[in-house]
Structure 1
Amino acid sequence: MHPIDEDTSAWLGCPTPLEMYKHQCALLEDEITQSQALLRKARQNIAGLVQLNDVLATRLAEVKEVLKTAQVEVAQLKERCSEPAILSMKLVAEQRDYLFRENQRLMLELKRAEAPST
């Protein structure tokens, strides 16, 4: 029977504590390198997003200015369309349309009256 307290560090293929520490350090160095690469990429992404945000903010300001100009123009057009001259022109156009329809109706009645009855 083998004693349980046997020192296994001398067995063939088993790493020494120093070798295990070196291996652990190498793993940590790889993780740090990967983390630095990810951090670098994240910083580039953030820089790109900041630039995109600046472009969008500038474009938003331009669009707001165009919107203000358009709103002023619409207000002016509404004001001009409600002037008495425009309203009277609308009234004349409505009267013209009414008289045209009435004329067409009367002409149709006249044709019916003149048609020979059979």
Structure 2
Amino acid sequence: MDPSDIENTDDWLGCPTPLETCRHQLALYENEFEELNFQLQQSRERIFKLVEMHAAATAECEKLRCQLSGAKSEAAQACRRATDIETKSAWELMAKNKHISELVTKLEAATGISVRTGQPIR
């Protein structure tokens, strides 16, 4: 066997030629490129859906903020009305108590009998 033939493996069965090796590597690269493009397309679609979801959530959040602001305003108004009613009721009660007290004093002065005890006033 010639020593130069030992290094020449191009004619061995099952061993690819350099051109076949390049073609195979190119096919691998093309498959990888297609797969990466597919993954990129899927990722872009997911990102687009996420952006849409974020926009919808932001709109819903803003809507709820407006409703919350309105509810807070209504609650504050109701609280003010309740305070006004409570204050008015307290003043009316005090006025009625004063009037009752004045009437009791007049009644006791006119009859000479204590309204609370039923005993004559001394």
Shorter-chain TM-score bucket reads: 0.5 to 0.7
1:3 to partner: Cα distance: 5.1
Q: Which amino acid aligns with 2:31?
A: D
After superposition, the CA RMSD in angstroms is: 2.6
Where does structure 1 lack aligned partners over 5 or more consecutive residues? Answer: 92-118
Where does 1:36-115 land on structure 2 (aligned, <5 Å)? 36-83=37-84, 84-87=87-90
Identity %: 33
Deviation track 1:16-73 (CA, whole Å, cap 9, x = no partner) reads: 0000000000000000000000000001101111111111111111101100100011
1:87 to partner: Cα distance: 4.6
Alignment length (residue pairs): 91
SS at match of 1:82: helix
1:6 to partner: Cα distance: 2.7
1:88 to partner: Cα distance: 6.0
Q: Measured at CA, do residues 23 and 80 of structure 1 come closer, stay the same or move farther in structure 2, by a change above 3 Å?
A: same
Where does structure 2 lack aligned partners over 5 or more consecutive residues? Answer: 95-122
Instruction: Give the distance between the partners of 2:49 and 2:92, measured in 1 at CA.
Output: 58
Q: Which has the higher contact order (CA 8 A, sep 6+)?
A: 2
Q: Could you tell me which residue of structure 1 aligns to residue 99 of structure 2?
A: none
SS at match of 1:12: coil
Q: Could you tell me which residue of structure 1 aligns to residue 21 of structure 2?
A: 20
Instruction: Give the distance between the partners of 1:39 and 1:73, measured in 2 at CA.
Output: 50
Instruction: Give the distance between the partners of 1:63 and 1:50, measured in 2 at CA.
Output: 20
Matched, 1:9 2:4: no
Deviation track 1:82-116 (CA, whole Å, cap 9, x = no partner) reads: 2212556899xxxxxxxxxxxxxxxxxxxxxxxxx
